[in-house]
Amino acid sequence: MIVRRRHHWLRMLFVWNGSVLRQILPRLVVVILISFLAVAGHLWLHSQRFTLNPTPFSLLGITLAIFLGFRNSTSYERYAEGRQLWGQLIIAARSLLRQAATLTIPPLTSTEQARLATRLVELATELKDQLRRSDRARDATLPKVAPSARPSSSRHVLAVAEDLAALRREGRLEPLLVPAMEANLDRIAAVIGGCERIAGTPIPYTYSVMLHRTVYIYCMLLPFGLVGGLELLTPLITAFIAYTFMALEATASELEDPFGLDANDLPLDALTRTLERSLLDMAGVEELPPELEPDANYILT
């Protein structure tokens, strides 16, 4: 996720870090070069001018804008739902720890609270790695575990449920209070299922390929449709239109998988750290891990 303060409107025009311009710039340069070739051919090949009627480009441009708007809306819905699911995970984990710490008789000791908090943090960390199809080699704060020996996020839910069952067998948890705690475990399990659904069900590939091809073919042919009326202004106008369409397509591609490591994806590392800090603080741990900050490019992972 890109995290930076909002600039003055004029300065926003020249923002580099945090925009998709870096990603699409090579492709944009190709389109601009084609525009110059179209202008050169129009000015110097007087006897054999190669120009296209601009009317089809106007109609296709409107249709393409509608499809890109739909694609971006669909991708953002997946992004927003992913963020809501992780918000629900944080709320449910906090509620579960609070219930376990205050409703047991006698109340959980600091060591027991820290143990439960660690289990919940491990659950969130494993879910993050599962969604990103990564390991924890980058995270120096977590123990290194072989992938084959690591329990899944669902297995962590079962481990927490087994801890609650042990408290009940010991007579430290009233049977009437169990449904309330089970409800939070059900919410956590629903979050895991929702995240797996988003990560495992991408937008149909054929739709993405069709839209991608249409955008780039349209942008490459556009100079030949504009050069007859714009002439020397063709590269400027073509670059502006191509930037708009290419940037929308690139942004939609990033948001399609909100759990990845692209610049505009959800900051799962930061969300997991937020959960860890809050749970350990509730458990009475004094030395909390530091909050994660954006890097030099204003990207928070």
- Chunked in runs of 10, what are the mean pLDDT values of the chain (301 residues)? 76 75 89 90 68 77 87 92 94 91 84 90 93 64 45 79 86 83 91 92 87 91 85 89 91 89 89 92 86 82 85
As a whole number of angstroms, the distance between CA 280 and CA 288 comes to 7
Cβ neighbourhood burial of 295 (10 Å; 0-12, 13-18, 19+): exposed
Q: Six-digit token pair at 271?
A: 């969300």
- Tell me, what's the pLDDT at 143? 45
In a domain, 122, yes or no: yes
- Tell me, what's the pLDDT at 22? 84
Half-sphere exposure at residue 261, Cβ-oriented, CA atoms within 13 angstroms: 7
- Tell me, what's the pLDDT at 126? 93
As a whole number of angstroms, the distance between CA 99 and CA 90 comes to 14
As a whole number of angstroms, the distance between CA 142 and CA 278 comes to 17
- Tell me, what's the pLDDT at 176? 81
Is residue 99 a contact partner of residue 168, using CB atoms and an 8 Å limit?
no
In a domain, 62, yes or no: no
Q: Which amino acid is at 229?
A: G
- Tell me, what's the pLDDT at 80? 94
In a domain, 257, yes or no: no
Cβ neighbourhood burial of 46 (10 Å; 0-12, 13-18, 19+): exposed
- Tell me, what's the pLDDT at 138? 44
Q: Structurally, how many domains does the chain consist of?
A: 1
CA separation (Å) from 43 to 48, 54, 237, 240?
10, 18, 17, 22
Give Cα 184 distance to the centre of its chain: 25
Q: Six-digit token pair at 239?
A: 């670059």
Query: What is the model's pTM?
Result: 0.83
In a domain, 98, yes or no: yes
287 CB contacts (<8 Å, ≥6 apart)? none
Q: What's the domain range around 188?
A: 80-201+267-287
In a domain, 218, yes or no: no
In a domain, 39, yes or no: no
- Tell me, what's the pLDDT at 146? 42
In a domain, 49, yes or no: no
- Tell me, what's the pLDDT at 246? 92
Is residue 1 a contact partner of residue 265, using CB atoms and an 8 Å limit?
yes
- Tell me, what's the pLDDT at 151? 62
Q: Six-digit token pair at 65?
A: 């804008």
In a domain, 231, yes or no: no
- Tell me, what's the pLDDT at 144? 46
